[in-house]
Amino acid sequence: MLRSLTQSLPLSRYRIDRDHAARERPQLFDELAADPEARIIALWRGEVLLADPAAPDAATAPALALLPWASAPADALRVYLGRTLEAEGGVPAGAAITAIVLDDTSGPALEPDVTRWGSPRTLGHRFGDRDAGLAIEALGMANWHATHLFSPRTGNPTVAAKAGWVRVDTETGAELFPRTDAAIIVGITDADDRIVLGSNALWESNRFSLLAGFVEPGESLEAAVVREVFEEAGLRVIDPQYVGSQPWPFPASLMLGFRARLDPAHANDLRPDGTEILDLRWFSRDELAASLGEILLPGRTSIARAIIEDWYGSPLDAP
């Protein structure tokens, strides 16, 4: 039986109480503005503001800058993230954390040094548990707000409400709630326990990863695995087994990881679809290790990397 990978996935870590009941308080942000322990984290262009590495108490790994409430511009979009569970980095347990989303004026005004802004996509595996969870929650919500400025039903403008967790149609009063797109990602092995990796048309030609795709309406996760693998690679697989999940707000996905076996009843010649997948290769463990100077693997923040290394049996010596 396959063990769950979720607890070890970089972006599935979380050390905060989301405190959902507080979102219903109309004056929550006024309360937090008067709370000396309340903190904010800042987002700009899909990146988070990092703590000053030169500060005397700076952590050895990247960490979020948790700023006093007064640091936020008055007109910034705010999203209440929750309360800390334990004291860390000068922030006490129980401190309320709010994300602020900055524009191209307020972002550089808050911090003009571009090296202080970092992407959770590349840094997520280096953050601590608390900061990884905060960064991903904040980024996912910021991306949702950016794509729902207008109601998909009426076309009317919407405004943020309920501590940033709802958008309201200004004409009808209808509420819109955050949504996440389900996507499967699968490690496929054959009778010799080789794994198949593909190169996507949007990547560098030598980057290889697992096959993945979005779940369609009316489809189970397992059916999505079978369909996506056949569509992208011409392979028939059986026995999809769930191994873990990780949020991937780039822009709005939840990646659901699987392992599956090649169906021996079919010929299963590799057939890249030529649109999304341009190249496919089978790798034994020795072949993959020998190819690391030639090919690039998915980054350490991704669930793809975790599934590959779980199949391999140990971490791989690659960026």
Q: Looking at the 3D structure of the chain, how many domains does it have?
A: 3
pLDDT the model gives residue 56: 66
pLDDT the model gives residue 1: 55
User: Domain for residue 75, yes or no?
Assistant: yes
pLDDT the model gives residue 55: 74
CATH number of the domain at 290, please.
3.90.79.10
Residue 270, C-beta contacts closer than 8 angstroms, at least 6 positions apart: 196, 233, 234, 235, 280, 281, 282
User: Domain for residue 319, yes or no?
Assistant: no
pTM of the model: 0.94
End-to-end CA distance of the chain: 30
Residue 131 sits in the same domain as residue 155: no
Residue 188 sits in the same domain as residue 291: yes
Residues spanned by the domain of 218: 181-312
Residue 167 sits in the same domain as residue 202: no
pLDDT the model gives residue 68: 96
Residue pLDDT tens, the chain, 319 long? 567 899 999 999 999 999 999 999 999 999 999 999 999 999 999 999 999 987 766 678 899 999 999 999 999 999 999 999 999 989 999 999 999 999 999 999 999 999 999 999 999 999 999 999 999 999 999 999 999 999 999 999 999 999 999 999 999 999 999 999 999 999 999 999 999 999 999 888 899 999 999 999 999 999 999 999 999 999 999 999 999 999 999 999 999 999 999 999 988 889 999 999 999 999 999 999 999 989 999 999 999 999 999 999 999 988 8
Which residue bears the tokens 């108490």?
Answer: 57
Maximal C-alpha separation, the chain: 67
Question: What are the distances in angstroms from CA 132 to CA 161, 283, 293?
Answer: 25, 32, 30
Q: Where are the alpha helices (DSSP H) in 41-173?
A: 106-110, 120-123, 129-146
Residue 116 sits in the same domain as residue 233: no
CA–CA dist 63, 213 (Å, integer): 31
Secondary structure class of 307 (helix, strand, coil) = helix
Residue 155 sits in the same domain as residue 109: no
Tokens representing 19?
């405190």
Angle at 166 between CA 213 and CA 29, to 5 degrees: 130
